[in-house]
Structure formats: structure tokens, C-alpha cells
């Protein structure tokens, strides 16, 4: 299949009135469209996607810029499924304008989103994410001086009750039936299996022994709401001064924070280098994280490098024993000293506010708390574009004062104030606030002459 390119739209010469849908447009999407077009978004993504299409073979595909725009709509509208994306875009004339569809062009099918995502590798999605970071840098929204790191959980699209053993493929129910027969119950009922599962000792689910047959990359973990489920672990590295996400990784849920931190920092370094804000040993950047990232190995790796660690230290009883490891002792003491300054208190307050807000906007409001895709790389592709939408929202907030389409609706408000005058008259004042413009209308009601 050849690569389809976005061309200038020419209206048909003969169309009926019913075939000419028009939309006044949406102020948010129109402004975002202007930003994307002025920066050459379509040309950039077509150049990135060209190696994965045939030069001259078959019918040209739909423009890849439309694919990325539909994923951006998923973030701004809080839509988690690709079928929902298709329905929402087909239902809105303003979104059709944002996708740059012609009068007679249909909204791309959800299966086209899946095929395009499978065709384009993770590197292309990461390049689009980096392109958005460069736009943020042009608007002064990348400082690179203080980076906060934290992780959350995402529910996988796989059922915990369907897990099987890695060694023989035995399901959990089959294991309970086998154990019931070994205990003397020839034909166990569901109640027998529940009773046996409740009373048996050492009841644990280990990722080393169990896996999901539908999503082998998902891991058993405890979610933020306390439930145990198959999950993934998204991890962010944010610029604490601006709120921009400079790295968004998708890890296995069973990997600890200390194990995933090096990969996230390496990705953040590459992205910051692309916008000429990478830290160095001569000019290190602060790396702020909670106590889950504290370990001697991590601090030794970060010491005397491009990252100046400010990692919260967990409380421990007794004395620390170093066993001759002077490098670990020096790194831990240096990090502890940096935690005692007032700068550290401000940085941790910012981390708690900015990083948690990014997870709330991307996972909860943006519709990514529950995954509908399977496979870590597959999920990472879409997650990167959702985070890119979050970063574009920072640009929109700088230009228009709001970062989401819902924000435009909230900016229009009206208030009624009733004032009684000394001559028993009534004055009703209507105050309307829209787009930072305030208008007041006063209506005077004369007193009742027969009152």
C-alpha cells in the first residue's frame, strides 16, 4: 500500500443542498488546527510514515495525519475505545473539520485505526511525541531544570479469572478441580471450589507462575483503588516548572520503581536533547521522586551524573551498614543533605501537585485508566499520543486560557442579581462572562402603582 498524503481540499462542482453539511466549527479545535497546520504537522508525519508504505503500489492510504488527529480527539474527548472514536467523529461536524475530511468523505473505520497502528512502529509515535515537545519548547514551556518522576497503574484488557499456569497451561479453575479431587471430592461443585480456595494455605498469585493467555504482557498487580487485577505501569517524567511531560513510558506492572527509573530517565534525556535542554554533568538537573525510588543502586548511578537526585528517604530503624561501599554511602549522604534544604520542600510540593495532575488528566479524564488494547508496545503507541494531547493542551492553555474543549464551555457563565431601589422598584442585572469579556444588562422594573 502506498502512502496517502494530505492534499488541498477542492469542493465538488455539483452537489445538492443535503450533501453540503456545514459547521460553524469549535473554537478549541479550530485554534488547535491552526497551530498544527502552521507548524507543518501533516508534512512531518507523512515524512515519518513514508518508509512503512510502498512507493507506488496499490491505492494510496488515508493520510496518517488523520490517524494521529483521531487519537488526539480520544484524549480531548475522554474516549477510551477506537469504536467510540469513530462514532464520536462521525457524529460531530466540527470534528470532521478537525480531521480535514471532504464533504463526501466518511470518517475512517475503527479497523483502519488498528491496521495503521500495527503498520507504524513505536518509533514513529515517539517521533510525533518529540515533535510536540519541540512545539512546547518554541513557546517556552520546556525548562528542563526540575524533573519529577512518578508512576501509576492501568487496568489491562484481560480477565484475572482466565489466567493460566506458565508451565502447563492449566487454568485456575482446573487447578482447583484437581486439588479437590486429590482431597477426596470426586465431583466438586462451585461451592466446593470456593470453599477449598478460601481455606487453602499459601494462596498467592505469582507472575512467575501465572500469565494471561490473551495478553501475555499484562501482569498481576494491585491497582490504585485497591483491587488486584492484570495491569500495566505507566511512568511519567515531568518538567515541574511548566507541567510538560518529557517522557511517558509503559512498563510491566510487576517491575519496581527502582528498576524502571533508569529507562524513564534515559528516555527523558533523549527528549530533552531534542529540544536542546538536556542536563549534563556540568549543569545537572534536579530529579525529584518519592521514597519508592530510593535505593543505594539508584543513588550510586545518579551521583556525579547529569541528574541531581532529590529522592525521599524511607524511615529505617537502626544504623545503615555499608560493608565498605563508600560510593553508595557518599551518594546516600549527598541525597539526604539535599533533602534538608528549602528548595527540596518546594520541589516535593510541586511534584505532588503537577505529577498527580498529569495522571488524573491522562488516565481518568482522558480515558486511559482502563486499556482496551493488548500488548505493551501496542498500548504504549496510543498512550504516547494521549500524552502528546496533554502537552498540546498546555500550548492551548497558554494561547487561549483553557486546555480542553470542555474548558471553553465552562468559560461561558451568567449570573442574575436583583436589587431593590428605595422607591420600591426592582433592578435585575444579568452578567454574562464569555471569553474573558464581561457584559452586564440592567432591566428596571417600575414599582406597582396599585401596591
- Residue 25: in which H helix or E strand, if any? none
Using CB atoms within 10 A of its CB, is residue 140 exposed (0-12), middle (13-18) or buried (19+)?
A: exposed
**CB-based contact 148:350 (threshold 8 Å):** yes
**CB-based contact 236:230 (threshold 8 Å):** no
Report d(CA 303, CA 134) in Å as an integer.
Answer: 29
Return the pLDDT at 237. 97
Q: Which residue has the cell 479497523?
A: 111
Return the pLDDT at 189. 86
Lowest mean pLDDT, pick from 201-210, 283-292, 341-350, 394-403? 201-210
Does residue 202 sit in helix, strand or coil? coil
Give residue-wise pLDDT tens across range 377-405: 999 999 999 999 999 999 999 998 888 88
**CB-based contact 153:232 (threshold 8 Å):** yes
Return the pLDDT at 164. 92
* Highest mean predicted confidence (pLDDT) among 185-194, 288-297, 433-442: 288-297
Using CB atoms within 10 A of its CB, is residue 184 exposed (0-12), middle (13-18) or buried (19+)?
A: exposed
Give residue-wise pLDDT tens across range 416-450: 455 555 555 555 555 555 554 555 555 555 555 44
| 365 pLDDT above the threshold of 90 | yes
Report d(CA 210, CA 220) in Å as an integer.
Answer: 9
Using 50, 70 and 90 to split pLDDT, how confident is the model at 263?
A: very high
Exposure of 313 in the CB half-sphere (CA atoms within 13 A): 19
Q: Where are the domains of the chain?
A: 22-120, 140-157+222-381, 160-221, 413-445
Report d(CA 249, CA 265) in Å as an integer.
Answer: 10
Exposure of 47 in the CB half-sphere (CA atoms within 13 A): 8
Does residue 151 sit in helix, strand or coil? strand
Residues in Cβ contact with 211 at an 8 Å cutoff, skipping those fewer than 6 apart: 163, 164, 166
Return the pLDDT at 33. 94
Using 50, 70 and 90 to split pLDDT, how confident is the model at 37?
A: very high
Q: What is the mean pLDDT of the chain?
A: 87
| Mean pLDDT (whole number) for 175-200 | 84
| 238 pLDDT above the threshold of 90 | yes
CA angle 305, 129, 286 (to 5 degrees): 25
Q: Single out the residue of 334, 329, 351, 391 nearest to residue 151, CA to CA.
A: 351
- Residue 376: in which H helix or E strand, if any? helix 376-400
Return the pLDDT at 201. 76
| Mean pLDDT (whole number) for 285-313 | 93
Residues in Cβ contact with 273 at an 8 Å cutoff, skipping those fewer than 6 apart: none
Using 50, 70 and 90 to split pLDDT, how confident is the model at 414?
A: very low
E strand segments, 66-159: 146-151, 154-155
Return the pLDDT at 197. 81
Amino acid at each position: 500500500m502506498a502512502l496517502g498524503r494530505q492534499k488541498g481540499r477542492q469542493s465538488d462542482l455539483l452537489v445538492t443542498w443535503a450533501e453540503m453539511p456545514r459547521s460553524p466549527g469549535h473554537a478549541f479545535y479550530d485554534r488547535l488546527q491552526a497551530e498544527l497546520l502552521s507548524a507543518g504537522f501533516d508534512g512531518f508525519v507523512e515524512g515519518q510514515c513514508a518508509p512503512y508504505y510502498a512507493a507506488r503500489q496499490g491505492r494510496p492510504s488515508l493520510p496518517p495525519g488523520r490517524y494521529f488527529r483521531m487519537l488526539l480527539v480520544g484524549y480531548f474527548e475522554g474516549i477510551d475505545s477506537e469504536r467510540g472514536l469513530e462514532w464520536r467523529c462521525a457524529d460531530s461536524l466540527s470534528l470532521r473539520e478537525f480531521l480535514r475530511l471532504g464533504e463526501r468523505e466518511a470518517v475512517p473505520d475503527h479497523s483502519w485505526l488498528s491496521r495503521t497502528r500495527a503498520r507504524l512502529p513505536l518509533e514513529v509515535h515517539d517521533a510525533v511525541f518529540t515533535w510536540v515537545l519541540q512545539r512546547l519548547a518554541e513557546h517556552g514551556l520546556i525548562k528542563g531544570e526540575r524533573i519529577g518522576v512518578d508512576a501509576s497503574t492501568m487496568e489491562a484488557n484481560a480477565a484475572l479469572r482466565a489466567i493460566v499456569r506458565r508451565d502447563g497451561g492449566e487454568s485456575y479453575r482446573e487447578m482447583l478441580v484437581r486439588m479437590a479431587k486429590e482431597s477426596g471430592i470426586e465431583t466438586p461443585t462451585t461451592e466446593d471450589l470456593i470453599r477449598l480456595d478460601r481455606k487453602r494455605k499459601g494462596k498467592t498469585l505469582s507472575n512467575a507462575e501465572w500469565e494471561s493467555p490473551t495478553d501475555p504482557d499484562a501482569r498481576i498487580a494491585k491497582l490504585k483503588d485497591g483491587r488486584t487485577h492484570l495491569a500495566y505501569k505507566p511512568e511519567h517524567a515531568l518538567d515541574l516548572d511548566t507541567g510538560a511531560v518529557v517522557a511517558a513510558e509503559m512498563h510491566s506492572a510487576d517491575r519496581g520503581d527502582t528498576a524502571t527509573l533508569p529507562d524513564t530517565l534515559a528516555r527523558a534525556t533523549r527528549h530533552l536533547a531534542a529540544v536542546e535542554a538536556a542536563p549534563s554533568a556540568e549543569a545537572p538537573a534536579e530529579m525529584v521522586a518519592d521514597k519508592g525510588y530510593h535505593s543505594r543502586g539508584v543513588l550510586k548511578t545518579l551521583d556525579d551524573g547529569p541528574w541531581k537526585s532529590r529522592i525521599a528517604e524511607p524511615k529505617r530503624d537502626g544504623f545503615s551498614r555499608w560493608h565498605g561501599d563508600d560510593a553508595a554511602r557518599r551518594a546516600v549522604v549527598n541525597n539526604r543533605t539535599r533533602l534538608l534544604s528549602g528548595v527540596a520542600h518546594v520541589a516535593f510540593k510541586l511534584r505532588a501537585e503537577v505529577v498527580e495532575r498529569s495522571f488524573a488528566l491522562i488516565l481518568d479524564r482522558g480515558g486511559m485508566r482502563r486499556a482496551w488494547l493488548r500488548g505493551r508496545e501496542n498500548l504504549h503507541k496510543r498512550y504516547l499520543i494521549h500524552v502528546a494531547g496533554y502537552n498540546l493542551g498546555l500550548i492551548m492553555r497558554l494561547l487561549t486560557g483553557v486546555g480542553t474543549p470542555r474548558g471553553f464551555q465552562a468559560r461561558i457563565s451568567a449570573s442574575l442579581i436583583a436589587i431593590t431601589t428605595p422607591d420600591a422598584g426592582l433592578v435585575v442585572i444579568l452578567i454574562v462572562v464569555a471569553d474573558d469579556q464581561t457584559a452586564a444588562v440592567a432591566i428596571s422594573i417600575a414599582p406597582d402603582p396599585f401596591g
